[in-house]
Amino acid sequence: MITLGIETSCDETSAAIVENGKNILSAKIFSQVDIHKRFGGVVPEVASRNHALKIRPVVEEVINNANISINDIDLIGVTNSPGLIGALFVGVSFAKGLSYSLKKPLIPVNHLAAHILSGEIENEELTPPYMALVISGGHTHLFNVSKSYSFTLISKTIDDALGETFDKVSKTLGFGYPGGPEIEKKASFGDETKIDYPIPMKNELNFSFSGLKTSVINSYNLEKYTKEDISASFQKTAVDTVIHKIRLASKIQKFSKLVVAGGVACNGYLRRRLQNELKNIKVFFPSKGLCTDNGIMVAYTAHKMFNKRIFMDFSSKALDRDESIKLF
């Protein structure tokens, strides 16, 4: 079965052709990072317009590179929420048009579900039930994923997402966008013990990063520390926080498998520490190319939902109201 996956929820126009769920025939990500860089972050209207320009060439490219004809597509999956509404509209409208003209089924894919399931693509061992932490530019959400793929939200950030915090710290320090890779690079030259930033809400499962962000800005304004030391100390505290919350969650509800996905899961320092320090939990990471937004994870999730007749219920408790806008 050949699945086309389409992802346009933020600033990456991406598509992939995947055979039988996991066999990747082709994949393409057109990143708009260079376009948004000069604004210091993603501008929604600019993102939508660039998706509109790129969606057709990107889909044509993956079809050509997979050496298939458009009529060979059996199934289409598209991210329908959460994300930037105008950006989502481009992918969903395109996918709907294609589905209608090819007379092939169309599966709406939740972006968080796709990030979570991306961990399964290269890890046979990762089968539900498991815990899933999505750490990206828009989310810091911990889910329990049941055997039948029902998602229960365990905790989330009450203010800034982790990726957003990396981006804002990077902006303060005068580095580029996106901030995560820049901070990680600079942190490798710094002393992580130099500044002792606080972990807020230690007894609560929910995350909060805005206090850490403010502490970083304050320490920068003191003009006492190097940018490398600030980056390293910030990154250490961010990862300390993640480890602390996972440990807290595991005390309340025992689990042995955890998948960590989303853009921040690209961070090598975070990967090393989670794998070394979470002793009784097997931690899975998708490869770095699957952590940031991509069409492969959408195709894989759509195929799984269609084949196993899984209805992933993200509608009720699992998501905030503003995130559950439905384009289907």
Give 181 or 211: the residue with its C-beta nearer to ligand KG4. 181
Which of ligand KG4, Zn ion, none has residue 264 at its interface (CB below 5 to 8 Å by kind)? Answer: ligand KG4
Among the residue ranges 47-55, 57-65, 188-196, 260-268, the one whose residues contact ligand KG4 (CB under 6 A): 260-268
Give 154 or 161: the residue with its C-beta nearer to ligand KG4. 161
Residue choice 163, 190, 286, 295 for contact with ligand KG4 (CB under 6 A): 163
Residue 191 CB contacts under 8 Å (≥ 6 apart), including other chains = 228, 229, 232, 233
Q: Contact 155/240 with Cβ under 8 angstroms?
A: no
Give me the phi and psi of 62, to 5 degrees please. -70, -35
Distances in whole angstroms, Cα of residue 24 to Cα of each of 91, 290, 308: 20, 12, 19
Q: Contact 289/298 with Cβ under 8 angstroms?
A: no
Give 5 or 190: the residue with its C-beta nearer to Zn ion. 5
Among the residue ranges 47-55, 128-136, 252-260, 308-316, the one whose residues contact Zn ion (CB under 5 A): 128-136
Provide DSSP, 1-33.
-EEEEEE-SSSEEEEEEEETTTEEEEEEEEE-H
User: Footprint of Zn ion on residues 289-328 (CB under 5 A)?
Assistant: 293
Q: Tokens in use for 189?
A: 């030259």
Please report how close the Cβ of residue 187 comes to Zn ion at its closest, in angstroms: 22
Nearest Cα to Cα of residue 4 among 127, 97, 124, 126 = 97
Q: Does 82 bind ligand KG4 (CB under 6 A)?
A: no
Q: Contact 91/9 with Cβ under 8 angstroms?
A: yes
3-state SS track over 120-142:
HHCCCCCCCCEEEEEECCCCEEE
Q: Does 136 bind Zn ion (CB under 5 A)?
A: yes
Please report how close the Cβ of residue 254 comes to Zn ion at its closest, in angstroms: 28
Residue choice 120, 167, 192, 228 for contact with ligand KG4 (CB under 6 A): 167
Which of ligand KG4, Zn ion, none has residue 179 at its interface (CB below 5 to 8 Å by kind)? Answer: ligand KG4
Residue choice 99, 237, 267, 301 for contact with ligand KG4 (CB under 6 A): 267
Give 208 or 267: the residue with its C-beta nearer to ligand KG4. 267
Residue choice 26, 215, 231, 292 for contact with ligand KG4 (CB under 6 A): 292
Please report how close the Cβ of residue 88 comes to Zn ion at its closest, in angstroms: 12
Q: Does 13 bind ligand KG4 (CB under 6 A)?
A: no
3-state SS track over 56-117:
HHHHHHHHHHCCCCHHHCCEEEEEEECCCHHHHHHHHHHHHHHHHHHCCCEEEEEHHHHHHH
Q: Which residues bind Zn ion (CB under 5 A)?
A: 136, 293
Q: Which residues bind ligand KG4 (CB under 6 A)?
A: 10, 136-138, 163-164, 166-167, 178-181, 184, 262-264, 266-267, 292-293
